[in-house]
Structure 1
Amino acid sequence: MSPAVRTYRGASAEERRTDRRARLLSGALDVVGGVGVVGLTVEAVCARAGLTKRYFYEAFADRDAVLAALADDVYAGLHGAIVASLREVDGDTRARATRAVEVFTETLDGNPAVARLYAESPGQPRLLARRDDAVDEFADLVLDEVLRLRPEDRERLRTAAVFVVAGTTHLVTRWLAGGVPLERLELVEQITRTGTGALLAREPTA
């Protein structure tokens, strides 16, 4: 017979830990949105979450760990939103590419805290490494969900997909900082046109 699960106010210990972790991540994102990645401290996260350090260290080893978990959540959410949106597109490759870029830019433009975490990642070694991993993940998304390639074509275009995603990442980061004088729709159009041009010019030369 399984041991009884102890509850407190109707929630199990595991449910309470999960809730506290979510509150800490939400608090960390609020801190990043307010003072940036460099300004994030354990004390600030706990204050925003309304929890003590005891609960912080129950969930995370240190500030870098909470930043890494926050980045994981942001990239997973963005990846999921793009894939879900693409499943609703019946058009050609250009239409799917446009939708992917729209979701990407809308998400960052509509959430300043997420945009700040994204833009400031290169200044933090652990976050930079995670963003590099995300470039690879989104390159796979382009190959699988935008181009819908056959397995035999996939590897040949993977370098080009990484190039397009990395370039898009850099351009959108500059745009968020005000360094690219385009409206969002113009930015989407230019990224889509350039990216699909690079990826669709894939037939090998004789």
Structure 2
Amino acid sequence: MDERTAIATRRGENYGGRSRQERATDRRDRILTSALQLFGTRDYDEVTVAEVCTGARVSKRYFYEHFVDREDLVRALHKEQNEWLLAGVFSIMPETPVTLDEMLRPAVHQLLTMLRANPERAQVIYINAPRMETRRRGVLRKDAQFLAGMLRQLGVDPQDQTRYERMLLALVAGLSEVIIDWLSRGMTDDLDQLADHLAAYCQAVLVAA
């Protein structure tokens, strides 16, 4: 051990070969992992900060170094999970989609497939986090912007931008409500049929937009 490392270790900056920042990042990751398991399997109001800390093997002191409270934790968790979902949808998009249908059907099918394969993530994104209404509205706007970015690949150039943005917001809000209903009933509906129905809904709204 060199002199600098030894000094850092004595100061608490380096422990077990990891820096203070690395240890803090690891604790935050463990808290989020514990939160995903708990909020992904139980109702929002049933989960406590103490339970999250127990699952993450951290004290409440460390929890409050990263998050203000339970709601702040769920906001961060929801952001992380929603970004995971959007990235997964974007990853299967054809580089040069020719028609609206060629873009929508694989995107919706991928969305539903990812949610069915990851019910805990689905619970966080669509069931528990929407209880925080302000956060839900922000996410819907972000999802509408994500969809607008996908449509730009098709060369979509709306003449009435305000009408277009409102229609996209209405589209993702309606899509979310159907998905929430699907999740609430145990995701038992035929996935291919549901994907077809939702893709047709998206296409109808976009044509009107």
1:106 maps to 113
What secondary structure, in the 3-state scheme, does the structure 2 residue paired with 1:150 have? coil
Query: If the length of structure 1 is used for normalisation, what is the TM-score?
Result: 0.85
Return 5+ residue gaps in structure 1 as ranges. Answer: none
Residues 179 and 63 (structure 1 numbering): CA distance in 2 closer, same or farther, change over 3 Å?
closer
Quote how far apart the aligned CAs of 1:88 are: 4.7
Residues 108 and 60 (structure 1 numbering): CA distance in 2 closer, same or farther, change over 3 Å?
same
Whole-angstrom CA distance in 2 between matches of 1:199 and 1:159: 11
Whole-angstrom CA distance in 1 between matches of 2:186 and 2:38: 24
2:76 maps to 69
Structure 2: which amino acid aligns with 1:138? Answer: D
2:198 maps to 191
Whole-angstrom CA distance in 2 between matches of 1:180 and 1:68: 24
Deviates more, 1:178-187 or 1:60-69: 178-187
Kindly indicate whether the alpha-carbon contact (under 8 Å) linking 2:93 and 2:107 is maintained by their aligned counterparts in 1.
yes
> Does residue 119 of structure 1 match 2:124?
no
Identity %: 28
Whole-angstrom CA distance in 1 between matches of 2:181 and 2:152: 26
Higher Rg of the two aligned structures = 2
Whole-angstrom CA distance in 1 between matches of 2:134 and 2:112: 21
Query: If the length of structure 2 is used for normalisation, what is the TM-score?
Result: 0.84
Kindly indicate whether the alpha-carbon contact (under 8 Å) linking 2:158 and 2:164 is maintained by their aligned counterparts in 1.
no
> Does residue 9 of structure 1 match 2:16?
yes
Return 5+ residue gaps in structure 2 as ranges. Answer: none
* 2:148 aligns with one of 119, 143, 149: 143
CA RMSD of aligned residues (A): 2.3
Kindly indicate whether the alpha-carbon contact (under 8 Å) linking 1:93 and 1:147 is maintained by their aligned counterparts in 2.
no
Whole-angstrom CA distance in 2 between matches of 1:172 and 1:182: 11
**Deviation digits for residues 86-138 of structure 1 (CA, Å, limit 9, x no counterpart):** 2556442211111221222122222121222222334x3xx322221111111
> How many corresponding residue pairs?
197
> Does residue 172 of structure 1 match 2:183?
no
Residues 57 and 181 (structure 1 numbering): CA distance in 2 closer, same or farther, change over 3 Å?
closer
Whole-angstrom CA distance in 2 between matches of 1:192 and 1:14: 44
Structure 2: which amino acid aligns with 1:121? Answer: A
Quote how far apart the aligned CAs of 1:18 are: 0.9
What secondary structure, in the 3-state scheme, does the structure 2 residue paired with 1:34 have? coil
Quote how far apart the aligned CAs of 1:189 are: 0.2
Deviates more, 1:60-69 or 1:6-15: 6-15
Residues 41 and 93 (structure 1 numbering): CA distance in 2 closer, same or farther, change over 3 Å?
same
Kindly indicate whether the alpha-carbon contact (under 8 Å) linking 1:89 and 1:96 is maintained by their aligned counterparts in 2.
no
Whole-angstrom CA distance in 1 between matches of 2:103 and 2:167: 17
Residues 89 and 28 (structure 1 numbering): CA distance in 2 closer, same or farther, change over 3 Å?
farther
Kindly indicate whether the alpha-carbon contact (under 8 Å) linking 1:97 and 1:146 is maintained by their aligned counterparts in 2.
no
Whole-angstrom CA distance in 2 between matches of 1:181 and 1:57: 39
Structure 2: which amino acid aligns with 1:102? Answer: H
Kindly indicate whether the alpha-carbon contact (under 8 Å) linking 1:21 and 1:59 is maintained by their aligned counterparts in 2.
yes
